[in-house]
């Protein structure tokens, strides 16, 4: 059995696990994401790896990371809540410190890989994963392979422009209108409230308590989500569209979007537009990061030096 140190790096927390090649979780914990720079980040990763190595021989290290991850070079482009990961070669730094093979992949792509490996998309080849959080991210998977695009922005569905593009240079994006933060901002504007006093849970509580204005904003929010899904179905025509993120676990949420999609469906076309819930929650990025490592390992076998695992 082979063992791996797997990390899910977020803006505030790094989740990590010791996993085997069959996706078994042997140990699992978390630590705060270092705030003071790349050296502290590498120290934190190395500390976890050394702890795992006390009981297991590791075959490699794999990380789910925010940003536009270049899986070949090890650099991370774009902008995220962890500014210091943009610039240095994260892959090389961890390899130099640990002397183990290292792989990186974008967090939304990891979520998509997890679903295609052992999750809700394991029975199809072409699928989309949409992750709804503060913004909208996602993964585009065709022939079981993540499509990253020329600029590594494949699957960044949240940048689609939905409304108000005639009145301003860019307009409102899918993320700005149909992510959880977008819903909060629309409700705050409608109710003349400070958006910092609201979050997604509070907004739905207000609706459940009978606030008609909030109910109306949630209905618009659901319709905007459905419009984005509709567009993606016609652009890519995947076998499945999955939706994840904390809000997707709310009872009736998936059904509400599907009801909107039924109304939007053209009567003279046979296309079936429907979304399905992602199978995995907080573990999706860890599972997907391991899947990514195994795929890369299969395509680029580890070089062995004196019977020890070398670095690709």
Secondary structure (H, E, C), 195-210: HHHCCHHHHHHHHHCC
Q: What is the dihedral sign for C-alpha 199, 201, 203, 209?
A: negative
Distance of alpha carbon 125 from alpha carbon 75, whole angstroms: 28
Q: Is 300 contained in some domain?
A: yes
Q: Is 113 contained in some domain?
A: no
Which carries the bigger pLDDT value, residue 298 or residue 303?
A: 298
Q: pLDDT tens, 90-110?
A: 999 999 999 999 999 999 999
If pLDDT is split at 50, 70 and 90, which confidence band does 301 have?
low
Distance of alpha carbon 289 from alpha carbon 22, whole angstroms: 13
Phi/psi of residue 55, nearest 5 degrees: -120, -15
Is residue 272 located within the same domain as residue 142? yes
If pLDDT is split at 50, 70 and 90, which confidence band does 44 have?
very high
262 close to 229: Cβ distance less than 8 angstroms: no
Is residue 171 located within the same domain as residue 47? no
Distance of alpha carbon 140 from alpha carbon 236, whole angstroms: 9
Number of domains into which the chain is organized: 2
Is residue 96 located within the same domain as residue 55? yes
Q: Is 58 contained in some domain?
A: yes
Q: Is 242 contained in some domain?
A: yes
Is residue 124 located within the same domain as residue 272? yes
What does pLDDT average to over the chain?
92
Beta partners for residue 131, in sequence order: 137, 244
C-beta neighbour count of 130 within 10 angstroms: 28
Q: Is 112 contained in some domain?
A: no
Q: pLDDT tens, 257-279?
A: 999 999 998 776 778 899 999 99
Domain that holds residue 152: 120-277
Is residue 265 located within the same domain as residue 290? no
Region 66-90: mean pLDDT is: 94
Phi/psi of residue 86, nearest 5 degrees: -95, 110
Q: What is the dihedral sign for C-alpha 109, 113, 114, 116?
A: positive
Is residue 47 located within the same domain as residue 98? yes
Distance of alpha carbon 25 from alpha carbon 247, whole angstroms: 25
| 295-300: Cβ within 8 A, 24+ apart | 295/113, 296/71, 296/103, 297/59, 297/60, 297/101
Q: Is 248 contained in some domain?
A: yes
Is residue 228 located within the same domain as residue 302? no
Q: pLDDT tens, 193-233?
A: 999 999 999 999 999 999 999 999 999 999 999 999 999 99
30 close to 12: Cβ distance less than 8 angstroms: no
Q: Is 114 contained in some domain?
A: no
Distance of alpha carbon 256 from alpha carbon 123, whole angstroms: 25
> How does strand 172-173 pair with strand 308-309?
unpaired
Distance of alpha carbon 86 from alpha carbon 77, whole angstroms: 6
H/E run at residue 227: helix 212-236
The pTM assigned to this predicted structure is 0.87
Distance of alpha carbon 174 from alpha carbon 137, whole angstroms: 10
Is residue 76 located within the same domain as residue 211? no
Q: Is the pLDDT of residue 307 over 70?
A: no
Region 52-59: mean pLDDT is: 98
Is residue 89 located within the same domain as residue 136? no
Which CATH number does the domain housing residue 300 bear? 3.30.420.40
DSSP category for residue 153: -
Q: Is 115 contained in some domain?
A: no
Is residue 125 located within the same domain as residue 273? yes
Is residue 161 located within the same domain as residue 87? no
Is residue 49 located within the same domain as residue 83? yes
Tokens of 26: 């042997």
Region 73-90: mean pLDDT is: 94
Cα radius of gyration (the chain): 21
């Amino acid at each position: 059995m082979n063992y791996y140190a797997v990390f899910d790096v977020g803006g505030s927390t790094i989740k990590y696990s010791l996993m085997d090649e069959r996706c078994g979780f042997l140990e699992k914990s978390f630590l705060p994401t270092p705030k003071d720079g790349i050296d502290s980040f590498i120290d934190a990763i190395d500390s976890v790896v050394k702890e795992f190595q006390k009981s297991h021989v590791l075959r490699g290290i794999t990380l789910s990371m925010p940003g536009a991850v270049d899986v070949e070079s090890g650099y991370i482009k774009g902008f995220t809540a962890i500014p210091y990961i943009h610039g240095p070669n994260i892959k090389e730094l961890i390899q130099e410190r640990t002397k183990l093979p290292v792989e990186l992949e974008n967090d939304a792509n990891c979520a998509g890989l997890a679903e295609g490996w052992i999750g809700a998309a394991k029975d199809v080849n072409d699928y989309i994963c949409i992750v709804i959080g503060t913004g909208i991210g996602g993964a585009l998977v065709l022939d079981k392979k993540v499509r990253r695009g020329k600029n590594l922005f494949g699957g960044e569905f949240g940048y689609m422009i939905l409304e108000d593009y005639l009145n301003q240079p860019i307009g409102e994006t899918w993320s700005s209108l149909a992510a959880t933060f977008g819903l909060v901002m629309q409700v705050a504007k409608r109710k003349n409230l400070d958006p910092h006093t609201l979050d997604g849970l509070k907004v739905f509580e207000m609706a459940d308590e009978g606030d008609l204005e909030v109910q109306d904003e949630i209905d618009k929010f659901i319709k905007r989500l459905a419009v984005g899904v509709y567009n993606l179905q016609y652009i890519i025509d995947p076998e499945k569209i999955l939706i994840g993120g904390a809000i997707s676990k709310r009872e009736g949420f998936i059904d509400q979007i599907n009801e909107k999609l039924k109304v939007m469906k053209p009567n003279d076309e046979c296309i079936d537009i429907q979304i399905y819930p992602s199978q995995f929650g907080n573990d999706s990025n860890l599972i997907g990061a391991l899947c990514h490592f195994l795929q890369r390992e299969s395509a680029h076998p580890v070089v062995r030096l004196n019977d020890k695992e070398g670095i690709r």
